[in-house]
Amino acid sequence: MATRVKLLYFKPTSVRARLWPVGIALKWTLGLIPPPQSVTMGQVQYGMIRQSEFTFWVFALRVALMGEAIIVTRNGQWDPAGTVDSCGVHAFGRNFELLPAPTEANAPLGKADVLKS
């Protein structure tokens, strides 16, 4: 079975929310708080891999400057360095292929075809 990742679109609705990740990164850099361990999206908590200050700064600045981010998760883990481009998803030290959007023709991918009479 292929390993899959989930993409979550994150768009803060206020300036304060856009700057919040930068505040966390700054406090971490100054040694005022320990490294973030997880992020909560909705009711699901994702643990953060790669405890790299630099990758978290890149994520924080992406949110602050562009006002949005795509969060890449897999098996309950979040990779702050994860990126998406036309070639696919790059996260967790690997490259993942983007699957086409579900349509009637490709909806049963990985499932047995159902015959209609």
Q: Is residue 108 part of a domain?
A: no
Would residue 114 count as lying in a domain? no
Predicted confidence (pLDDT) per residue in 28-63, tens digit: 999 999 988 888 877 888 888 766 888 889 889 999
Residues 106, 115: Cα–Cα separation, whole Å: 14
- Per the structure, how many domains does the chain have? 1
Residue-number span of the structural domain to which 32 is assigned:
6-96
Task: Give the residue ranges of DSSP H helices in the chain.
Answer: 15-29, 53-66
Domain assignment present for residue 109? The answer is no
Is residue 43 included in any domain, yes or no? yes
Residue with tokens 């006002």: 67
25 part of a folded domain? yes
pLDDT tens profile 73-89? 888 888 888 888 888 88
Is the residue at 85 inside a domain?
Answer: yes
pTM for the complete prediction?
Answer: 0.72
In a domain, 102, yes or no: no
Answer yes or no: is 104 within a domain.
no
The model's confidence at residue 116, banded by pLDDT at 50, 70 and 90, is very low
